[in-house]
Chains A and B, each alone.
Chain A
Amino acid sequence: MNSSLKQRIWTNRHFYLFISPFFIIFGIFGLYPLIYSFVLSFMEWDGLTKPVYVGLSNFATLFHDPPFYRSLLNTIIIGLMYIPPMFFLAFIFAVILNNQAIRFRGIFRAAVFIPCITPMVVIALVFRLYYSEEQGLFNWLIELFCSFLPWGPAPPVIPWISSPEWSKPSLAILLVWRWTGYNMLMMLAGLQGISKDYYESAKIDGATWWQEMWHITLPLMRPMFIFCSIMSLLGTVYMFDEVFVMTNGGPGTSSTNFGLFLFNKSFTDFRFGYASAAAYVVASVVFIITLFILRWRKPMGEA
């Protein structure tokens, strides 16, 4: 470090001091665990005894671990089941609740948003009752529906969270219900960020509502869609509480996603090194996918 740089730092020391709390806190609670976790991925450690260096063994085991792949596959399936309908509903709600003609918009927005700030324990309690095979609301509604059908089919009792076939769709329904509000709010912010000038010009040119939507709203909402996609991708991969309290990954491992896999490896099996290796591998994949998604943000034709 030359003396001129030192001099400049010393002269501006107050500014460095003012921004230092963030860097100190980030260093302790962000960077250090990140680095330590990376180091741990080369160790075998149960949290109580001394860590043992095992080189790339954790990574080698990981690539031959069927439960790891199963958890990733479950994560992808659950993501595909809930993200498209959630985005669709969130966008529809955002468009409707962005309409100035609707009264009490604030109340409706709050109503849609409330599920994502409701504690998961409460949600689990209610949804487990909804999904009950014995006297659950969903099965009762199916029974009611069947009773109205002229040919009178016997109502099926769906084992919502107690069968491998239904555990993932059941989680997807809950996730759509829980996270639509959050995405609606993001999309509402995106819609409100679009200048009204575009719509006024379009109206002058005689554009229909659908043409406005297709040629103005949707293209200009692309950055917000990308943001929501990245958040949903991260949320799906590291999702934990919904799965933990609803199905605990079961029956079998039919609904074990990556977040729960990581938790089990860390805090049930106490294999911190292995869990760190898995976390780093998946984080790398997520990072690459995020880069691809971000690339989509750039306007067409740009390199």
Chain B
Amino acid sequence: MTRLKFGFFIGALIIGASGLGCGGSDRAVDSGDGRTHLEVWSWNVAGNCLLDANEDFKKEYPEIDSELIITSTMVQQRLMLSLISGVGAPDVTQYEAVDAPRYNISGRMLDLTEWAMKYKDDFSQAYWINCEYEGKVYAIPWDMGPCGVFYKRNIFEQYEIDPDAIDTWADYLAAGEKIYQLSNGKTKLMAASPGGMGWYFEILLQQAEGNVFDDQGRIALDSPATRKALDVLKTWLESDCIASVDVFGPEYMSSFKNDKIACYPLAVWLGSNIKGYAPETSGNWGVFRLPAIEPGGLRVAILGGSVLTIPAQTKHKEAAWKFVEFMMCNKTTQLNHYRNHDLFPALITTFDDPFFDEEDPFYANQKVRRLFATEIDKIHRLNRTKDWREANRYLGQNLSAWATTHRDNERFIKDTVAQMHSNLERELAPKAGKEAPIHE
């Protein structure tokens, strides 16, 4: 091989390698037909919503060619790598609502204030607040997770339990004990394992009008509200009628089809899991509102939810915004997301639609949509911070230790607060738990 040939070979190798490196970013440039090509990342159910609506979007905006890439909920690692490296991020992406504060402050997401501010009042403020940072908007709320209790009608009818008579968690537990006794231990009230207390604690903390952090980001866990939430959890753990089953574990999912568990207190999106996993149980389900901690207390809480946003590195800012606007701020699209995929809209202007008053045959013609929309404005929002995931991990770990060992509320609060204080380097709220509750 001559020197020239050798040099050519090396050159080809380098060009080939750089071609490989650039492959990903090519997808984000304009299509050959002059249309703007958008890459959108979203996961499973939500991704299917966008896929369904994408044809309508393309009709509305024929100059934009939007391509959906369905990811898993682990999209965060992939997104983060592309944001750090400055290339490879999609034009539009979804992430969980609790992660929004972390991305908002990163400076790597597009400032949507100019376009989005006009929609602010159309959305649930419990979610919108996660999308803002220092008065600027970086994401648009998508779905929200108002909670209720899913129950099996055949069990309630067999043991003559009236769901409408359940007003408090104490009533709920009494109903569960009745079911457990009359069924000779065959049917338990609900699933609650020590490792899965986090979701229930989050629901109860909202109902008790408590918070993990106050509105200045200080640790506010040492409060009467936390103690109230723990007291309710303690009554569950001490009762025989609670099944030690992990939420979304194999036994939990299979219990949709049998009589081992009667109730499932969780967010509205559980409905899509039940419909997907046990479609043959259609007509046997009902939903009642969350019981309150005390008579007359809050009967609403939210869990989960996601947002849609635009990374700042996109080359198609306006087209990306048109996509987000069409998918998030449009009543018809949002209603279709709920109708077809059980994603409850954070766009509260949709609540006036007659669709919310339609009967749902899966729930024996109960008007469950209206039930979930009831008193949404009373939701006590939890303040999310950029380190929410870490804080939530400490909560989960200490809750499982609390549940399996001491069940000492004071020790739980002391350990968790100390851990958050030292690891998150956050101050303690001076009057933790005594601040005015923040409502929408």
Residues of chain A whose beta carbon lies under 8 Å from any beta carbon of chain B: 13-14, 17, 46-49, 125, 128-129, 132-135, 159, 161-164, 247-254, 264, 267-270
Contact = CB atoms under 8 A, between A and B. Distances in A.
B401 A269 contact: no
B108 interface: yes
A252 B400 contact: yes
A135 B389 CA distance: 33
A133 B77 CA distance: 34
A49 B397 contact: no
Interface string B90-106: 00000000000011011
Given A48-B108, A252-B401, A162 B249 contact: no
A129 B393 contact: no
A252 B389 contact: no
B217 interface: no
Contacts of A264: 393
Contact of A251 (B108, B250, B401, B423): B401
A17 B10 CA distance: 9
B357 interface: no
Contact of B405 (A132, A164, A268): A164
A17 B397 CA distance: 53
Given A48-B106, A132-B245, A134-B244, A251 B83 contact: no
Contacts of B397: 249-250, 252-253
Given A48-B103, A134-B251, A162-B195, A252 B108 contact: no
B107 interface: yes
Interface residues of B, number: 39
Contacts of A133: 244
A125 B404 contact: no
Interface of A (DSSP majority class): loop
Nearest to B10: A17
Interface string B284-306: 00000000000000000000000
B410 interface: no
Interface in B233-256: 243-246, 249-251
A265 to B, nearest CB: 9
Contacts of B359: none
Interface of B (DSSP majority class): helix
Contacts of B250: 125, 128-129
B77 A267 contact: yes
Looking at B9, B398, B400, the one whose CB has the most chain A CB atoms below 10 A away is B400
The 4 A-B pairs of least Cβ separation, nearest first, read A252-B401, A48-B106, A251-B400, A269-B390
Contacts of A250: 194-195, 396-397, 400-401
27 contacts: A47-B80, A48-B102, A48-B106, A125-B250, A128-B246, A128-B251, A134-B260, A135-B251, A163-B194, A164-B401, A164-B404, A164-B405, A251-B194, A251-B400, A251-B405, A252-B397, A252-B398, A252-B404, A254-B401, A264-B393, A268-B390, A268-B393, A269-B390, A269-B393, A270-B387, A270-B389, A270-B390
B84 A48 contact: yes
Given A129-B251, A162-B193, A49 B404 contact: no
B246 to A, nearest CB: 7
B238 to A, nearest CB: 15
Interface string B47-64: 000000000000000000
Nearest to A21: B13
B403 interface: yes
B1 interface: yes
A21 to B, nearest CB: 9
Contacts of A159: 244, 404
Given A134-B245, A252-B400, A270-B387, 5 more contacts: A48-B80, A133-B244, A251-B194, A251-B401, A253-B397
A48 B101 CA distance: 12
Nearest to B1: A14
Looking at B83, B84, B195, B398, the one whose CB has the most chain A CB atoms below 10 A away is B195
A48 B83 contact: yes
A301 B405 CA distance: 52
Nearest to A256: B397
A249 B398 CA distance: 12
Looking at A47, A133, A163, A252, the one whose CB has the most chain B CB atoms below 10 A away is A252
A129 B251 CA distance: 7
B194 A162 contact: yes
Contacts of A132: 245, 251
Interface string B208-247: 0000000000000000000000000000000000011110
Interface string B394-421: 0011101101110000000000000000
Looking at B386, B403, B404, the one whose CB has the most chain A CB atoms below 10 A away is B404
A251 B197 CA distance: 11
A252 B398 CA distance: 6
Nearest to A133: B244
A294 to B, nearest CB: 35
A162 B76 CA distance: 29
Contacts of A47: 80, 84
A13 B401 contact: no
Looking at B1, B390, B397, B405, the one whose CB has the most chain A CB atoms below 10 A away is B397
A47 B244 CA distance: 37
Looking at B83, B260, B396, the one whose CB has the most chain A CB atoms below 10 A away is B396
Given A125-B250, A269-B387, A251 B243 contact: no
B17 to A, nearest CB: 8
A269 B394 CA distance: 10
Nearest to A252: B401
B244 A251 contact: no
A25 B322 CA distance: 41
B159 to A, nearest CB: 20
A50 B403 CA distance: 39
A47 B393 CA distance: 18
Contacts of B108: 48
B195 A247 contact: yes
B189 to A, nearest CB: 13
Given A128-B246, A134-B244, A162-B195, A269 B389 contact: yes
B365 to A, nearest CB: 32
